[in-house]
Amino acid sequence: MSKLIIDQNNSLYYEYEKGALNTYTYVFVNALTGSTSVWNGIIGKRLKDEGYNFLTYNFRG
């Protein structure tokens, strides 16, 4: 599990999928009730298959 540590009490959970080098990175931000798993299905697979990077994270941590 990847977390960006902000301080002792706060962090953000994120997932990063690396694609081909020197290409775009798509960033998906979830609302308070969302989940990064939404992007790992068809959308994430398509981006990865086409060589793009993508980053997903949750505001709720």
Please compute the mean of the pLDDT values over residues 21-28 and round it to a whole number: 88
> Given pLDDT bands bounded at 50, 70 and 90, which one contains residue 2?
confident
Boundaries of domain holding 27: 2-58
pLDDT at 16 over 70: yes
Q: Per residue in 31-57, pLDDT tens? A: 666 777 778 888 888 998 999 999 988
Count how many domains the chain has. Answer: 1
Using a cut of 0.85, tell me whether the model's pTM lies above it.
no
Question: Tokens for 2?
Answer: 């990847």
Q: What are phi and psi of 17, to 5 degrees?
A: -115, 120
Write out the two tokens for 43: 């959308």
